[in-house]
Structure 1
Amino acid sequence: MRIERVTDATAVTAAADLFDEPPIPAATERFLAHPGHHLLFAYDDSGRAVGMISGVEMTHPDKGTEMFIYELGVAPAARLQGIATRLVAELAAIARRNGCYGMWVGTENDNAAALATYRRAGASEETSFTLLNWDLLQD
């Protein structure tokens, strides 16, 4: 298996099944164009994309820069092979190289697979928090 940073929208389109929804072309181009946005794919030995992780560097005046894990996905047939853990580790390595002081992710309390993956990749659990959301597309 190899892990590579994706910079070409055609690669994203070819691996559309790794995303929750089909990639939106304009959003894909915008994401890939920003140097603080990271999209990594894991490829199996045949060259097929079997996993993905996206991360966004976020900077705040009194905190510095941290990496936010936006999304992590592995094809069903490739799960339980350590691919997700390797993707998280590679994104963490990029974050370190880019001077991030930390990395974080949010997931549902009952998402046992995600919790196990992030813990295996070295994450420690912080206190719980409440997620609030604005749906800006509603009238």
Structure 2
Amino acid sequence: MRIERVADAAAVLAAADLFDGPPLVAATEKFLAHPDHHLLLAYEDDRAVGMVTGVEMTHPDKGTEMFLYELGVAPHARLKGVGTALVEALAAIARERGCYGMWVGTEIDNEAAQRTYRRAGADDEEPFLLLSWDVTSPGT
């Protein structure tokens, strides 16, 4: 298995089955254009079998941390260390870029994700409440 940082939208589109939904061309190009956005693909031979995305987030009183945005592994490649290797590769980029930490949120019942993140060195934090807005509709 090899892991590569992706800079070409065509590689992302070719790995569409690793994402929750089909990658949008404009959104993919916008994501890849930002130097603080990272998309890594794991390959077995020439076939993408996993992906991870990360976004550097900077705050005036904290510095920069890496947000692990999404992790996806093809069903046939699960339980082979692909997810752990991708998370570790993103953590290495975070270190290289001077981030003070890396974090991820996941569903409470997503035990597979939790095992992967813990295997890659994540520690549990105190539970917190996530609030979100749908800003696509007026008045929300």
Q: TM-score range, shorter-chain basis?
A: over 0.9
Specify the code of the residue in structure 2 equivalent to 1:82.
G
Specify the code of the residue in structure 1 equivalent to 2:14.
A
Q: Does 1:58 align with 2:57?
A: yes
Specify the code of the residue in structure 1 equivalent to 2:64.
T
Task: Give the C-alpha shift of residue 138 in structure 1.
Answer: 2.4
Partner of 1:9: 9
Specify the code of the residue in structure 2 equivalent to 1:5.
R
For structure 1, the residue ranges without an aligned partner over 5 or more in a row are: none
Q: Identity over aligned residues, as a percent?
A: 73
For structure 2, the residue ranges without an aligned partner over 5 or more in a row are: none
Partner of 1:115: 114
Partner of 1:43: 43
Specify the code of the residue in structure 1 equivalent to 2:4.
E
Specify the code of the residue in structure 1 equivalent to 2:115.
A
Task: Return the alpha-carbon distance in structure 1 between the equivalents of residues 85 and 13 of structure 2.
Answer: 22
Please list, as runs of the form range in 1=range in 2, the aligned pairs for 1:27-106 lying within 5 A after superposition: 27-45=27-45, 47-106=46-105
Task: Return the alpha-carbon distance in structure 1 between the equivalents of residues 13 and 95 of structure 2.
Answer: 29
Specify the code of the residue in structure 1 equivalent to 2:120.
A
Task: Return the alpha-carbon distance in structure 2 between the equivalents of residues 134 and 104 of structure 1.
Answer: 21
TM-score (norm 2): 0.97
CA deviation digits over 1:47-97, x for unaligned, max 9? 100000000000000000000000000000110000000000000000000
Q: Secondary structure at the match of 1:135?
A: coil
Partner of 1:131: 130
Task: Return the alpha-carbon distance in structure 2 between the equivalents of residues 19 and 110 of structure 1.
Answer: 20
Task: Return the alpha-carbon distance in structure 1 between the equivalents of residues 122 and 14 of structure 2.
Answer: 31
Task: Return the alpha-carbon distance in structure 2 between the equivalents of residues 123 and 77 of structure 1.
Answer: 25
Runs of 4+ in 1 over 2 A off after TM superposition: none
Task: Give the C-alpha shift of residue 136 in structure 1.
Answer: 1.1
Task: Give the C-alpha shift of residue 137 in structure 1.
Answer: 1.4
Specify the code of the residue in structure 1 equivalent to 2:9.
A
Specify the code of the residue in structure 2 equivalent to 1:121.
A
CA deviation digits over 1:10-29, x for unaligned, max 9? 00110000000101111000
RMSD (CA atoms):
0.6
Task: Return the alpha-carbon distance in structure 2 between the equivalents of residues 8 and 97 of structure 1.
Answer: 22
Q: Secondary structure at the match of 2:21?
A: coil
